[in-house]
């Protein structure tokens, strides 16, 4: 931002740190959460707005917290669905000069100045992404998540593109030109799932949650075994 060109870089680092600290404090106990991305420009009459309300309500009723970017359009619809279900509705708001007014359906609301700090919260506290139709910001989050998983910087989690009519041309481009030019591999396409069915989204997320819970349990058992082994070792 322009104002970051002025003043001390040291103070800028403190502002960045404060955003991470607030995010970690506020979100550490929200439980399993799904992040929903999508256009801020869709009105309430849009079919994807209505589908997002329904989908988020189903996910919240199934015990998931819903995380969004906190703004209007699809973000509002997702927070609204979570609120209607009595679930945890998180809005990670971003300060922008011309857009992004926080929606009214947030039980947890955090304001960010820096996109990169906000992105960390999406990845860290979500067990899956639902990507509704959207613009450049939505594409940014979509492809960043793919990149993190492709490069093994994060564990694999579901990325679900909702709305085959909107997403199919991009999938066709990946299966066509990107594979033709070998800029991706066929296994990379397995990172993406496309659906128009809210119930399928819930089933996919439930399967992943059970897998993650099993992995956490196995890791804890292994840690206990390691600690017991250490106790029996004599160090010279």
d(CA 137, CA 132): 12
Supply the pTM of this predicted model.
0.90
Q: Dihedral sign for Cα 42, 137, 180, 163, please.
A: negative
Total count of domains within the chain: 1
pLDDT tens column, 33-84: 999 999 999 999 999 999 999 999 999 999 999 999 999 999 999 999 999 9
Residue 197 lies inside a defined structural domain of this protein: yes
Residue 101 within a domain: yes
Assigned domain for 121 exists: yes
Identify the band that residue 225 occupies on the pLDDT scale cut at 50, 70 and 90.
confident
Residue 211 resides in a domain: yes
CA torsion, ordered 185, 159, 117, 57, to nearest 10 deg: 170
Q: CA 98, 17, 89 angle in degrees (round to 5)?
A: 60
Q: Is the pLDDT of residue 12 over 70?
A: yes
236 located within any domain? no
Report the DSSP beta bridge partners of residue 35.
Answer: 67, 129
pLDDT on residue 10? 80
CATH number of the domain that 180 lies in?
3.40.50.450
Tell me which residue range forms the domain holding 199: 2-231
DSSP 145-213: HHHHHHTTSS----EEEE-HHHHHHHHHHIIIIIHHTTSS-GGGGGGEEEES-HHHHHHHHHHHHHHHH
| Confidence at residue 227, expressed as pLDDT on a 0 to 100 scale | 82
Contact 74, 43 (CB under 8 A): no
User: In this structure, is residue 16 part of a structural domain?
Assistant: yes
Residue 71 within a domain: yes
Among 35-49, 175-189, 193-207, 213-227, where is mean pLDDT lowest? Answer: 213-227
CA distances from 199 to 115, 120, 234 (A): 31, 28, 55
């Amino acid at each position: 931002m322009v104002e970051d060109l002025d003043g001390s870089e040291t103070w800028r680092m403190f502002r960045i740190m404060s955003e991470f600290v607030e995010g970690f404090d506020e979100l550490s106990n929200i439980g399993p959460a799904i992040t929903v991305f999508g256009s801020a420009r869709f009105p309430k009459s849009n079919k994807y707005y209505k589908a997002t309300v329904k989908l988020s309500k189903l996910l919240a009723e199934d015990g998931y917290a819903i995380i969004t970017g906190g703004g209007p359009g699809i973000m509002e619809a997702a927070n609204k669905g979570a609120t209607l279900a009595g679930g945890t509705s998180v809005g990670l708001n971003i300060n922008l000069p011309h857009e992004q007014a926080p929606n009214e359906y947030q039980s947890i609301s955090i304001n960010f100045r820096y996109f990169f700090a906000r992105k960390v919260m999406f990845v860290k506290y979500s067990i899956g992404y639902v990507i509704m139709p959207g613009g450049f910001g939505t594409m940014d989050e979509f492809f960043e998540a793919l990149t993190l998983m492709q490069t093994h910087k994060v564990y694999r989690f579901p990325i679900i593109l909702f709305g085959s009519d909107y997403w199919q041309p991009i999938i066709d481009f990946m299966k066509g030109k990107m594979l033709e030019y070998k800029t991706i591999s066929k296994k990379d396409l397995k990172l993406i799932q496309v659906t128009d069915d809210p119930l399928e989204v819930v089933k996919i997320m439930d399967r992943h949650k059970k897998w993650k819970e099993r992995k956490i349990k196995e890791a804890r058992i292994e840690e206990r075994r390691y600690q017991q082994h250490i106790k029996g070792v004599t160090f010279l």
